[in-house]
Structure 1
């Protein structure tokens, strides 16, 4: 495979080959490639469906032993498949925009002042999604579409529909277990427990067995459809070992008195630190903050998992940024957090595109999205923006917050300009030869 393609390009090509060429009983056992199938069954069936179309582009890409295959037809097909499946994200963004329209406090004077338009751009033109899916190569746009659709449906009061889509999402990609606690607590509190007024002043909560059964039926049915065939074949342990490869640890089962013994202690500590999401869950259980509280809880659960989780991928930052986009257009405080987090979080994705020809592309895309975010959110929240604006101050941010983000510019100039130059000067003879 040529060096212009990411590892994930070969990962998904291999999964197309596995699901197309082998019976379902061998999907989670096949290991010809090091990139074995390690997503839940719905995603495996998703690859199986794509493979039925891929064979018309280039049948050779569907051979399990044809590793690192990257014909032009294979590239065109895989890139096109991402574009087409992004229609799910488009539909979900439309539903999310419908939610924000109900919260407009004033009529917009321009497109930049229209919260629905701004939200659509923040979701559909998200810098992180664009470089991860359309340059690096993955299917996160489609998956985030399922997440945002579930959030939108619950925010619209369609709790069972939202639960359905979230259950489907978990069976596509288990990384979204990060935010499952927010869905569980919110749906239990807001849907399964109903209010009872007593003496016109005291409100009691009563568990509705019917609603709980309906919610449980949806989740268990979706999960049963997904994992049922593998349970019937006695392959559930094998599937779970692929989804949760806990055996890939740094330490042996027995502790040696070395540095990695400290890692074991740290690992135990981080397990406890996962409780950092408990305040957010406590909040939505005891206080009825509406859909904003629900989305904030999703963001905080994702943040806790990102900070303290095990085997966290860089793209997990988007599980925080994209739901936070919904809040950014409705609250100046959330907009401030969004601007800080999206700027730093998206900058942290730069190493995914590490070749010199890709540098201008990622910089231009990053600057375009970031500038739009600042200008558009400033226009929406211009009345509430109370921060003084010094010469280098950024919209909605304080002086110190602005300085923090400007330092990213200095960091980029050093890492991509000054440091390579210093390395070249220190290795002057070899630089001349190259």
Structure 2
């Protein structure tokens, strides 16, 4: 029994309402010269790409001062800015006029910029709906499709970062979901192209790359031994990269240097990573050479993600493994590797928690309680950023709505408060609320002016490292989950089948 069109329309309308509601709050850098913020960065990239030759986009010159929001995302993101900039040049020419549009913040521009995010976001909600139909969630997991779609489309980090802070992560996230669906509908070639596009829109998508690499190589080499398909997949990946990078000619080295910077340090601001936590104990940032620290981060990250990737590689090559179990293992690997990349990689932003959150959203049918918890604390970990931008009320409202939907769907229930999960969930969220209250109402010591943002980052790190350990355990012990209780109707169907 499929989900009705009316239900899908209602879920999408609700998702749109939440997104535009958040967009009414301040964005990154609003009215704060001289750099303004991420809103200005995205506008400036449109200005640069529509007014300068392509080889100047990533190259520092008198025409393009990279110290003022120089492009630092891969080519597809630059082409995306170019396409939007062309439209803005016709609709509001002064917003992308070269050299005179810095800090431009007219009401019409704000609307057009917000609308451009919503237009770019069309792919992700549509694919979330398709994923729920593709998985037939209601039949297999006692998990209604309407509930899954509502939770997935109201996951706070995606809404808050793109529609509040202001970015276009929805494009790379949507391409990644498309790639997952392609892989598990036996279209590996198209899945490889979709994921290559995702990486070339936001380099953070590399957090998911090991899961895709392990699955595709194992499936093509171990399970199928299909050299022709392997050659076709490789050719399509190389062709996609060529189409995106070859236009830059000899300037590709400057693009690469901007996409993977070393001079910006091991972390930025207060973020719940291992290196930030370690820096509180023994100083790292600004003390050791950036290149050496980057190499150490790379080694630790690779070592930490290998067990999950190797497990997926071995299971993907098993022809007897049911497709549902294989999809679950793949998503577990996506979650584990992306979370460990967040924890251990070089130069991680707090916003990068969206990458594990995407895998968490896709894993929700198998681990509803755990993933609702993870997405909730991921949202709360962003509180200092949104407090700084004066849009923290939006964060609290969207997060509260998300938890209420989970409660309405009986994933989180008042009757379950006495359970271990209920106690841990309440204690976890209560700890965040205590620290958030301290941020607002307690004056920190003079020597520790950023005490509460630092405590929130460290508190988040403790959560993330525990989630990483728990879900590595789940994956490496064959990905067994606690049984989701079946509905009375499903129990009746099972007993009828047995009697027949």
- Category of TM-score, reference length = shorter chain: 0.7 to 0.9
Verify the 8 A CA contact 2:36 2:103 in the aligned structure 1. no
Q: Distance in 2 between matches of 1:264 and 1:397?
A: 43
SS in 2 for 1:319: helix
Could you give the per-residue CA deviations for residues 190-228 of structure 1, whole angstroms, max 9, x where no partner exists? 234335xxxxxxxxxxx3221110110111010000001
Q: Within the alignment, does 1:238 sit opposite 2:268 as a pair?
A: no
Alpha-carbon shift at residue 317 of structure 1 (Å): 0.7
Q: Which residue in the other structure is 2:442 paired with?
A: 419
Q: Within the alignment, does 1:323 sit opposite 2:359 as a pair?
A: yes
Verify the 8 A CA contact 2:182 2:191 in the aligned structure 1. yes
Q: Which residue in the other structure is 1:410 paired with?
A: 434
SS in 2 for 1:260: coil
Verify the 8 A CA contact 1:284 1:294 in the aligned structure 2. yes
Q: Within the alignment, does 1:376 sit opposite 2:409 as a pair?
A: yes
> What is the TM-score when the length of structure 2 is the normalising length?
0.71
Q: Which residue in the other structure is 1:38 paired with?
A: 72
User: Paired residue for 1:340, among 366, 373, 376?
Assistant: 373
User: Paired residue for 1:8, among 28, 32, 38?
Assistant: 38
Could you give the per-residue CA deviations for residues 383-414 of structure 1, whole angstroms, max 9, x where no partner exists? xxxx98445x6xx8153443223222222222
Q: Distance in 1 between matches of 2:67 and 2:299?
A: 36
Name the CA shift for 1:390/1:70 in 2 (closer, same or farther; >3 Å). closer
Larger Rg: 1
Structural mapping, 1:15-414, within 5 Å:
15-29=45-59, 30-31=64-65, 34-66=68-100, 67-101=102-136, 104-105=139-140, 113-114=143-144, 116-195=145-224, 207-231=225-249, 234-249=250-265, 260-261=287-288, 268-274=295-301, 275-288=303-316, 289-329=325-365, 331=366, 334-354=367-387, 358-376=391-409, 378=411, 389-390=416-417, 397=421, 399-414=423-438
Q: Distance in 1 between matches of 2:217 and 2:198?
A: 19
What do you get for the CA RMSD once the two structures are aligned? Answer: 2.9
Q: Distance in 1 between matches of 2:55 and 2:430?
A: 53
Q: Which residue in the other structure is 1:201 paired with?
A: none
Q: Distance in 2 between matches of 1:399 and 1:212?
A: 49
Unaligned stretches of 5+ in structure 1? 196-206, 251-257, 424-434
Name the CA shift for 1:342/1:6 in 2 (closer, same or farther; >3 Å). farther
Alpha-carbon shift at residue 270 of structure 1 (Å): 3.1
Name the CA shift for 1:79/1:121 in 2 (closer, same or farther; >3 Å). same
Aligned residues: 385
Q: Distance in 1 between matches of 2:103 and 2:256?
A: 26
Deviates more, 1:74-83 or 1:156-165: 156-165
Q: Distance in 1 between matches of 2:328 and 2:116?
A: 33
Q: Distance in 2 between matches of 1:397 and 1:325?
A: 19
SS in 2 for 1:104: helix
> What is the TM-score when the length of structure 1 is the normalising length?
0.81
Alpha-carbon shift at residue 73 of structure 1 (Å): 2.1
Alpha-carbon shift at residue 100 of structure 1 (Å): 2.4
SS in 2 for 1:28: coil
Deviates more, 1:91-100 or 1:40-49: 91-100
Q: Distance in 2 between matches of 1:185 and 1:377?
A: 36
Verify the 8 A CA contact 1:28 1:239 in the aligned structure 2. yes
Name the CA shift for 1:421/1:264 in 2 (closer, same or farther; >3 Å). closer
Could you give the per-residue CA deviations for residues 155-190 of structure 1, whole angstroms, max 9, x where no partner exists? 222222211111111111111111111101101112
Q: Distance in 1 between matches of 2:409 and 2:220?
A: 35
Q: Distance in 1 between matches of 2:390 and 2:289?
A: 42
Unaligned stretches of 5+ in structure 2? 1-29, 267-284, 317-324, 447-500
Verify the 8 A CA contact 1:14 1:33 in the aligned structure 2. no
Alpha-carbon shift at residue 57 of structure 1 (Å): 2.5
Name the CA shift for 1:356/1:278 in 2 (closer, same or farther; >3 Å). closer
